Structure 1
Amino acid sequence: MITITNQEFKQIADFIKAHYGIYLKEEKRALVTGRLQQVLVKRNMNSFTDYFDYLVNDRSGEAITTLVDKMTTNHTFFMREAAHFHFFRDQVLPFWIHAIKDRDLRVWSAACSSGEEPYTLAMIIDEFLGKEQASWDSKVLATDISNAVLDVAKDGVYSNEKIEPLPNHWKIQYFNRHDADHSVLNNRIRNQVIYRKYNLMDKSIPFKKKFHAIFCRNVMIYFDNETKTELIDRLYDMMEYGGYLFVGQSESLNRDTTRFKYVMPAVYRKL
């Protein structure tokens, strides 16, 4: 195994933090070494200095894409932190359905991973709107920095074990059999989610309209306080007044400094 020096680890860690906000502490050294070994071997590199030179000089985008896929952990599942989805169904949707005049509901899954979160939101919205769905623009925007998980999400294929937490009538209504062990979301729900690659550290805002609800869960645990504060400020500016922000249950906002108002654990509102 090729070892990594202090200077090499610092170079890579600083690069990842500057571009993606991910703060790699010293205890992550073994993780970085292990996940990048295959890349070094494949490219016949003798050191992590060689790898870093390749990373900063590659113009194809391949090096960055591989680094992001190797360094991000995409652990998610259907109905994760289910209280959020229940609150979205019982409180957020009823409020906005009456408040929105142009029937343009804008919901963003800001670190969508392999798609379980945005598809769950799409199913909740579909069931809530019922026959009125056709008269609404209610597509869910789902973004992530990893091409690998976005490809999985777009396919919409999940093991039967993964969809087990979902209500039985959803499995019947929204899924078709893919093979003996897997099910695939039907086109109606898949078409209700728009997938885009987006880096949450991007200071520019590419979205024309502001959002009524943003799910940005279990991603800020990888950021230091400064990066987290900057992101929260951008999310606030990207949200309509009255909009709701959902973060992970292990995450929280500093109530003394944030412009968001606390609603319940891991749920905040722009008022």
Structure 2
Amino acid sequence: MAETRDDLSTADGIWSLRRLPEMDEAQFSQWQTLLEHRTGMALTESRKSFLETNLGIRMREIGCNSYQAYYEQIVSGPDAIVEWATLVDRLTVQETRFFRDEDAFRLVSDYVMTRPRETLRKRPLEAWSVGCSTGEEAYTLAMILNQCMEALALKPLFGVTGSDISKPAITKARSGLFSARKLTSIDKTMKNRYFRPAQRNTVEIVASIRDRVCFTHLNVLDLKHAPMHGVNIIFCQNLLIYFRRWRRREIVKRLAERLAPGGLLVLGQGELTDWHPPGLQRVPSEHVLAWIKRQPDEE
């Protein structure tokens, strides 16, 4: 009988393509618990197939044919830490692009342009991209701040920090290299100014912007240990949707603690509803969900 594609095995060096059995409820529950405990990511029943698919791909790569065996490898295997980092990178959605939310970045620009010049002249602006993925958002913030400083005829005193739970994503962000197709939606003037051709149909961020941006590995569940303090702008979009409502509030409280008085916090539309973070004042906008941290005398 001829060997079918689904019967291929690893015996001859080819990863198994045999379909894995469906994950049972007990297995799904333990994976849900592990992911929420370690990352805060809440997987609903509707995301079960997403989990099965991504676990299955990784399991085939390493020659593992049991969800339980892979779970034990992740929890207590000899390479558990390295394997966990690889899996987290697969499970965190990294859909991002430059200038992804034009309204939100326009709000950031308006915020900077209306700050007292004397303040901007004396103290560097600090911005933080939370859940920055491969860096497009952080670099966009740097470009926006650079444009603002030039428009105000001020020295470019600013810095941007990008943080993410995925170590491979952070490594890519630090390289400053992107596929040329990532620039298709960028204004030609911005493209010519802030990007340079690189090898193999890639482009790189110009040094004047790259030097203003740094990246760090950070799990938002560990925000209480984050070294960022007195930040002027915190940009956290399309991250909170993965968490339960109570945890979203907890994360926003932690972020607010790291804002400087008068600082700006920008979230994604719909990520936080029916709740007003203490100490923050909502920015009147139909298209952007954002708050300003009240000054001490406004409390």
TM-score, scaled relative to structure 1: 0.91
Matched residue count: 269
Q: 1:100 to 1:254 in 2, by over 3 A?
A: farther
Determine if the alignment matches structure 1 residue 170 to structure 2 residue 190. Answer: yes
> For the Cα contact (< 8 Å) 1:255–1:261, is it kept in 2?
no
Superposition map of 1:201-240 within 5 A: 201-207=221-227, 209-240=229-260
The superposition leaves residues 232-269 of structure 1 with CA deviations (integer Å, 9 ceiling, x where unpaired) of 11011111111111111242343456442211231112
Runs of 4+ in 1 over 6 A off after TM superposition: none
Determine if the alignment matches structure 1 residue 27 to structure 2 residue 46. Answer: yes
RMSD after superposition: 2.1
Determine if the alignment matches structure 1 residue 266 to structure 2 residue 286. Answer: no
Letter in 1 for 2:104: H
Residue 182 of structure 1: how far off its partner (Å)? 2.8
Alpha-carbon distance in structure 1 between the residues aligned to 2:159 and 2:175: 17
Q: Which of 54, 67, 74 is residue 48 of structure 1 equivalent to? A: 67
> For the Cα contact (< 8 Å) 2:121–2:154, is it kept in 1?
no
Alpha-carbon distance in structure 2 between the residues aligned to 1:59 and 1:197: 22
Residue 211 of structure 1: how far off its partner (Å)? 0.8
> Aligned with 2:35: secondary structure?
helix
Q: 1:87 to 1:98 in 2, by over 3 A?
A: farther
Determine if the alignment matches structure 1 residue 11 to structure 2 residue 15. Answer: no
Q: Which of 142, 166, 171 is residue 162 of structure 2 equivalent to? A: 142
Q: Which of 39, 44, 66 is residue 58 of structure 2 equivalent to? A: 39
Letter in 1 for 2:256: Y
> Aligned with 1:132: secondary structure?
coil
Residue 5 (structure 2) aligns with: none
Residue 3 (structure 2) aligns with: none
Q: Which of 155, 166, 169 is residue 133 of structure 1 equivalent to? A: 155
Residue 14 (structure 2) aligns with: none
Alpha-carbon distance in structure 2 between the residues aligned to 1:39 and 1:162: 27
> For the Cα contact (< 8 Å) 1:92–1:244, is it kept in 2?
no
> For the Cα contact (< 8 Å) 1:81–1:249, is it kept in 2?
no
User: What are structure 1's unaligned runs of at least 5 residues?
Assistant: none
Determine if the alignment matches structure 1 residue 121 to structure 2 residue 141. Answer: yes
Q: Mean Cα displacement is larger for which, 60-69 or 17-26?
A: 60-69
% of aligned pairs identical? Answer: 26
Residue 129 of structure 1: how far off its partner (Å)? 1.7
Residue 47 of structure 1: how far off its partner (Å)? 1.6
> For the Cα contact (< 8 Å) 2:253–2:277, is it kept in 1?
no
Give the structure with higher Rg (CA). 2
> For the Cα contact (< 8 Å) 2:159–2:213, is it kept in 1?
yes
> For the Cα contact (< 8 Å) 2:58–2:87, is it kept in 1?
no
Letter in 1 for 2:143: M
Q: Which of 73, 78, 88 is residue 108 of structure 2 equivalent to? A: 88
Q: Which of 212, 215, 222 is residue 195 of structure 1 equivalent to? A: 215
Alpha-carbon distance in structure 1 between the residues aligned to 2:72 and 2:200: 46
> Aligned with 1:234: secondary structure?
helix
> For the Cα contact (< 8 Å) 1:215–1:245, is it kept in 2?
yes
Residue 128 (structure 2) aligns with: 108
Q: Mean Cα displacement is larger for which, 256-265 or 194-203?
A: 256-265
Residue 36 of structure 1: how far off its partner (Å)? 1.0
> For the Cα contact (< 8 Å) 1:243–1:270, is it kept in 2?
yes
Alpha-carbon distance in structure 2 between the residues aligned to 1:204 and 1:59: 29
> Aligned with 2:100: secondary structure?
coil
Residue 4 (structure 2) aligns with: none
Higher relative contact order (CA 8 A, sep 6+): 1
> For the Cα contact (< 8 Å) 1:255–1:262, is it kept in 2?
no
User: What are structure 2's unaligned runs of at least 5 residues?
Assistant: 1-18, 295-299
Alpha-carbon distance in structure 2 between the residues aligned to 1:104 and 1:251: 29
Alpha-carbon distance in structure 2 between the residues aligned to 1:254 and 1:205: 28
TM-score, scaled relative to structure 2: 0.83
> For the Cα contact (< 8 Å) 1:121–1:140, is it kept in 2?
yes
